[in-house]
Chain A
Amino acid sequence: MGELVRVEHLKKYFSTPGGMLHAVDDVTFTINEGETLGVVGESGCGKSTLGRVVLKLLEPTGGRISFEGKDITDISENDSLELRKQMQIIFQDPYSSLNPRLCVSELIADPLKVFKLYNKADRQKKVYELMDLVGLARRFAFSYPHELDGGRRQRIGVARALSLSPKFIVCDEPVSALDVSIQAQILNLLQDLQQQQGLTYIFVTHDLSVVKHISTDILVMYIGVMVEKSPSKELFNKPLHPYTKGLLSAIPVPSIDHEKRQVELMGELSSPIEPKDECRFLARCQYATDQCRSQAPTYDEVMPNHFVSCHNVRQINGL
């Protein structure tokens, strides 16, 4: 299948009193139609900002974004409105992303109204179709968000995103506010919808087990930069970057046969404000050398389709 989204050297800086905050710094990737790119990282690594910049909800500071082969970096506001029909987002928090004064059917009809699609009767029909699609019982059509639980609210978010039949959806931590049993229901729903409608996803999350389950490729971010990208299975079987290794070893495994892990990652994230020209993972890395201190590593294809930005990746992994 063809390439749907291409992002090249994307940058997003925010101006703060302390200097420029490098939220996203030189990120490059492509996503093929019908596939899912998982974006993982800890809080503050720029993963949500990345999702928003790709959708042009935030203006990029530098770099290019193309969608269906067309450069959309500098398109006008009018055109970007058209683009919204193709690209949608599902937000993390189903509590704050829904207008509390609209009922379920109004919430789902909202995007259709904005784009003046269908007449009133057809719109209502479409709303019911969408509710069926995402597994919301029709009896909730006139309930308000506060009357529903988190799982159902997130289904409204999914229905809204789907209402314009987009090709591409950014899912920004869509299940992290939900309980595990409900989380599994929503993940299954997103997978089913992808298969039925050939959707393409960027799936932003901090939960590595979720991302493994749903992604084709995984991109690991650390303080605004890409540290590793590879096909999903390979990342879990053969992580190459020291940060990815640490991240994987930090996940508590729900099994008592699993060997007790060692805490590999000490310390915390350093500041993303005016970073120096050095490896951003330096402070937490046990393999740091002088080269890491004097120069930021480049992002190289270490193995086929497996990209890592680390000076010492070959030595560390014996490649």
Chain B
Amino acid sequence: MSLLDIKGLTIHYVTRDNTVKAVNGINLSIGESSTLGLVGETGAGKTTTALGILRLVPDPPGKIISGEIFFEGKDMLKAGDNDLRKIRGNEISMIFQDPMTALNPIIRVGDQIAEVIELHQNCTKAEAMVKSLKMLETVGIQPERSVEYPHQFSGGMKQRVVIAMALACNPKLLIADEPTTALDVTIQAQVLEMMNDLKKEFKTSMLLITHDLGIVAETCDEVAIMYAGEIVEYGLLEHIFRNAKHPYTIGLFGSIPSLDKDVDRLSPIQGLMPDPADLPSGCKFHERCNHVCDDCKTTLPDYTEIEPGHFVRCPRAVKGEI
């Protein structure tokens, strides 16, 4: 059985004026010590999915309309506040995109890490502090710096502190929401390598949210491509990188300027992502798709398995027409 199982999850933000359909019936599962990359553009619903797993979607306006989330067989949607508090930061923890806002500016970093440990691990303040120093060392920060405040650290170092905090209770699942987007490439490379090492050491499963296919290629075992709140393609790394079938996935690859090959002109996806408050009928991608047929405009395509473990939501791709 997988560690995390999401079935038909639908999350909407209901406001007085309209309903933003952020996540629309997605299925995901993450196995023990494996990493799933969730890829998509701004507004695709990636972060809402992550918040949904931790039941952190702000309500109002956010509502989990339907679906099931099973974590180690427990139904997260039926868990009470007390149960959730025991899971968050302990069994599932999260790394946010912006390390500048994820840390409390007026608490020393050592104390911030110790707080999580003290809360979840039935130990004294002193013991928690010892563990906190050890965690700082694990992420490559000298323990002496534990008495410093977040503003005394650089961006990359702050993200290391956040990672130390997330891993402090040895979680089974780590949700990393664009963990390196705010960092420079050389620092990003350092942080990614460290995350990969720690993931192996702690045998943590990871849900990595990103828009960078390069990072996915380096870190993930499986990939889910998300578009307008739906998963349009899902498969192992090889499926997506060697045998991408959905026109959106193919378009994403075409949009990235390549370092290895010389391309005179990029082939971007035409048009823009639809407004999630006003999604088109049928396939959400049909307005931007070069392979659109009449059916696409009216009926939502099925999520079909085209080879073991490789799912695509596009009827023409299933028929091998793309």
Contact = CB atoms under 8 A, between A and B. Distances in A.
Nearest to B192: A252
Interface string A244-264: 001111111111101011010
Contact of B187 (A191, A213, A256, A268): A268
A152 B271 CA distance: 11
A209 B258 contact: yes
B189 A263 contact: yes
Nearest to B248: A181
Greatest chain B CB density within 10 A among A42, A180, A236, A248 is at: A180
A236 B193 contact: no
B187 to A, nearest CB: 7
A236 B238 contact: no
Contacts, number: 118
A182 interface: yes
B160 to A, nearest CB: 11
Contacts of A254: 212-214, 216-217, 241, 253, 256
A250 B185 contact: yes
A179 B46 CA distance: 14
B238 A256 contact: yes
Contact of A247 (B157, B185, B251): B185
A212 B269 contact: no
A165 interface: no
B184 A42 contact: yes
B115 interface: no
B121 interface: no
Given A250-B186, A255-B241, A266-B190, A181 B269 contact: yes
B185 to A, nearest CB: 4
Contacts of A179: 41-42, 211, 273
A184 interface: yes
A182 B266 CA distance: 11
Contacts of A260: 218
B156 interface: yes
A60 to B, nearest CB: 26
Contacts of B272: 149, 151-152, 182
Interface in B239-275: 241-242, 251-260, 262-263, 265-270, 272-273
Greatest chain A CB density within 10 A among B186, B213, B255, B262 is at: B186
Nearest to B218: A252
Contacts of A182: 41, 268, 272
Contacts of B216: 254
B32 to A, nearest CB: 22
A117 B211 CA distance: 43
A246 B189 CA distance: 10
Interface of A: 42-43, 149-152, 179-185, 187-188, 191, 206, 208-210, 212-213, 233, 236, 246-256, 258, 260-261, 263, 265-266, 268
30 contacts: A42-B184, A43-B184, A149-B273, A150-B42, A179-B41, A179-B42, A180-B252, A181-B251, A182-B268, A187-B266, A188-B265, A209-B258, A213-B266, A233-B262, A236-B259, A246-B186, A247-B186, A252-B189, A252-B192, A252-B214, A252-B215, A252-B217, A252-B218, A254-B241, A254-B256, A255-B260, A256-B237, A263-B189, A263-B190, A266-B190
Interface of B: 41-42, 154, 156-157, 184-190, 192-193, 211-218, 237-238, 241-242, 251-260, 262-263, 265-270, 272-273
Given A188-B265, A247-B186, A250-B188, 6 more contacts: A42-B185, A184-B256, A208-B259, A213-B263, A251-B214, A254-B216
